[in-house]
Structure formats: C-alpha cells, structure tokens
Amino acid sequence: MSLLSLPDIAGMLVLMSVLGWFRKRHRDERVDAWLLALTFILVEMIASSIMHGAKWVPVLTKVLSLDSYLLAAVTFGWAARRDLLPGTSHLPQFLVPAVSLLVLTTLFGLNLVVVRVFMAVIGASVVLGLVYLLFGIRTRKRLRSLLVLIHLTMWLPMLYFSIQGRLLEVVYWGLACLYVLVAFSFRRRARAETIGPWVIMVSFIIWAMCFLAYPLEQGHWMREGLIEQVWNIQKFFVVIGMLLVLLEDETQRRLDEAMHDSLTGLPNRRLFEDRLVQAFERSRRTGLSAGLFAIDLDGFKAVNDTLGHQTGDMVLKRVAERLKRKVRGTDTVARLGGDEFIVVVNDLARADQCQKIAAALRTTIEGVAVPGTLGLRIGGSVGYAIFPEDAMEASALFEIADSRMYDEKKFEPGVEVGR
C-alpha cells in the first residue's frame, strides 16, 4: 500500500464518522445510502493505494477499484431519488445502464479484454435501451426524446471505441457519463438559496471530467500530477456538499417549526401575519379584494372537558386537514391557538363572495366527526372582514372579523357533547 494515500484514507474515515454521528443523532435515512456509497469510495481508495504501492497490479484490486466507482454512482443516484421522492425504493431510469456497465468494468478489471465481447454487450445495451425508452415507459414526447438522446450519447461513443479496440476509453467514457447523470439527479434540490446541492453537482461533474482525462497518454504529467490530485480532492468536496445539505435541511426544519403550529402543521400567527401582508400587496397590485375569515369551533371546550385533550387534539387535526383541502393554493389557513383558526382568501372580485365562502367554511367544519362518539360532529362560527373595503390595517380587520364571528355565535349556539 502506498503511504502517500494514507492521509486521504484517514480523512475519508473522519468525514464518514461525522456523517455517521449525524445519522445517529438526527435519524436521517438518507445518510445510510450516502455512507454506503462512501464505503464503496473508501474501498476504491484502498484498492488504488494497493495498486500504486505494488510492483504488479493484483487483478482483484483493479476489479474492486472500477466496480466500486460504479456502485458508488448507483448508490448516490438512488439516494438522490429517495431524497426527492421519499418512500421510493426502485432505481431511477438513468441508472439502468449501470448493469451493462458493471459487466464491462468487471471484464476490464479481470483483464478479459475481448473486443467482440465488449461490442456484443454494448450493442445489446443500445438496442434494448432504445426499445425500453420507446415502448416500455409512458412519458411525455419531449422527455422521451431527451432520454433517447442521453442514451445514444452514452452508448454510441462506447460502441465506436470498442470497434477501434480502445477498451480503456470504453470503460471510462461510461463511468464519466454515469457520474454526469448522477450530478444532474441533484438539480431539483439545487436552488438559489442553497449551496450544498451545487457543491455536490460540481463535484460529480469534476469527477466525470477526471474519468474522461484518465485515458490520456500514460505517464503524462497531467495523469500523474494534476489529475491525480483533483481526483482525490473532489471526493472530499462531495462529502462536504452532503454535510452542507444536512445543515441546510436542519436549518430549514427549525425555521419551519418556528413558523408552523406543532399540532396541525398549519402556519402559526407569525407566518400568517407575513402571508397577510403579502395578500395586502397582492390586492393593491391586482385591484381585487382579500378576505379575512376568523373561525372558532363551537362546543370544543365541552369536547376537551368531557372526552379529554387527546380527543380534542384529534378534532383540531381533522379540522385543519379539511380546511387545507377546502382552500386554494394561493390562500392561507392558519391556527392562532386553542380552537381559533383564520383564513385569508385572495382575489375576491365582489364583497358578497365572502358570505358564500364563510358558509362553505362553516359546512366544512360541521362535517368533522368527534372521535369516540356516536355521530357527534363539531360546529363552527365564521366571521369575515374585507381588505380594503372594511379596513386597511391588519389589526382592524382582525377586530371586525372577530366581532362578526362572535355575533354569529349568539344566534347559532355550538354543539354540546351528549346532545
């Protein structure tokens, strides 16, 4: 084993330990897949160190080096898909070619470099991949065309290299394409306000460039110097990007907790006030009104006192869920505390629409059954105020909506437990 590689191996172990600590402390399932992928990278680093330190290259270490790179890419791509689509267990479509590529890397690592075998595997992959993309999946025409283009871009150069007998280029072109695809699997996570996904994407693209540069003339100074250093450094950039992603997610989670009600998941007063300001600005811009609806549950105190707070919490969750389903995506439902909810509805063309909306919200609440009772349902009182017709300030709108809501309570008493 080359002693020069020991600091890199030690550094990778330290970063993997940090990820493992984070996994144990925060129970983040993504880290399991990342640790598995980094384990493959660690195996590759050890295998490469053995190859550089030995006078002859053991076949097993060469196979481990190439296959570990490929398996790491597959695992990273799978982890990226699970991150975007929680609960997803199957591999993304762009990693299907990894099966054929694994055959090629294994054959090359075992020094079974038979040109006709490589041509047969690649030719079969081209044909079967096209059949699958054209007839085996249901997707939009534009996306299907893009997938076919990606497929041909990956496999046709490999077919050309195999015909020329340049099997080293075959293997490393395939790995480079796979790492570019994995890089872009993080694109949906990359946003202007984040840096972690961008670091991961750039690291994988640099990694792919290293694969493309590897088949350069053996002994070239770039091969022995610059490329070798870049190859090792970007591995650590990938891990740093992952740590940044975890830190950003933790920060966002804490921010969400500070801005949302812990029981129902609805926006709390702090976030709702910000949404209300946005509604005012939208109203001024469009010339349409915004409606503020104050909601109070009828008979809820009796539910809490008679059936317990656990039942009361279940009622609040059911009310919140029904209200969320009732309003549009441009509107906002919030819980102010206790059994008080509030809704802001944008883009009202007429003031009389508020009466219809209030009736719809009332009906929505009355459909909520109280758990542990025989058909008992909760009731609700709804009051509203209109911006800018009723008032121009948030506090005044709240007072008007509350006043109308309590006026309604006087004439429509709530449901009592046992009635």
243-282 tens-digit pLDDT: 888 888 888 888 888 888 888 889 998 898 899 999 999 9
Of residues 170 and 23, more confidence is placed in 170
Ranges of each domain in the chain = 3-258, 269-411
17 — pLDDT class (breaks 50, 70, 90) = confident
341, 390, 387, 348: which is closest to 364 by C-alpha? 341
Percent of the chain with pLDDT over 70: 86
50-85 tens-digit pLDDT: 776 555 556 788 888 899 999 998 888 888 776 655
What is the CATH architecture assignment of 269-411? 2-Layer Sandwich (3.30)
Q: How do strand 289-298 and strand 332-337 relate by DSSP bridges?
A: unpaired
197-241 tens-digit pLDDT: 899 999 999 989 888 888 875 555 555 555 666 777 878 888 888
* Cα 241 off chain centre by: 15
Tell me which of 8, 67, 331, 339 is the catalytic residue: 339
Q: pTM of this prediction?
A: 0.71
Please tell me the distance from the alpha carbon of residue 103 to that of residue 200, in angstroms, as a whole number: 27
Confirm whether 339 is a catalytic residue: yes
Mean pLDDT of the chain: 83
Length of the chain: 419
Query: Which residues lie below 8 Å from residue 79, measured CB to CB, with a gap of 6+?
Result: 30, 33, 34, 37
Helix axes 30-53, 6-26, angle to 10 degrees: 170
89-102 tens-digit pLDDT: 555 565 668 889 99
Q: How do strand 379-387 and strand 289-298 relate by DSSP bridges?
A: antiparallel
Please tell me the distance from the alpha carbon of residue 160 to that of residue 147, in angstroms, as a whole number: 20
pLDDT higher than threshold 70 for residue 412 = no
In degrees rounded to 5, what are phi and psi of residue 20?
A: -65, -40
362, 354, 355: which is closest to 381 by C-alpha? 362
301 — pLDDT class (breaks 50, 70, 90) = confident
Residue 104 one-letter amino acid: L
Please tell me the distance from the alpha carbon of residue 216 to that of residue 228, in angstroms, as a whole number: 12
**For the CA atoms of the chain, what is the radius of gyration?**
30
Residue 5 one-letter amino acid: S
Please give the structure tokens belonging to residue 46. 């050890």
32-55 tens-digit pLDDT: 888 888 899 888 888 877 776 555
CA distances in angstroms from 329 to 25, 325, 326, 356, 366, listed in the order given: 35, 9, 10, 19, 22
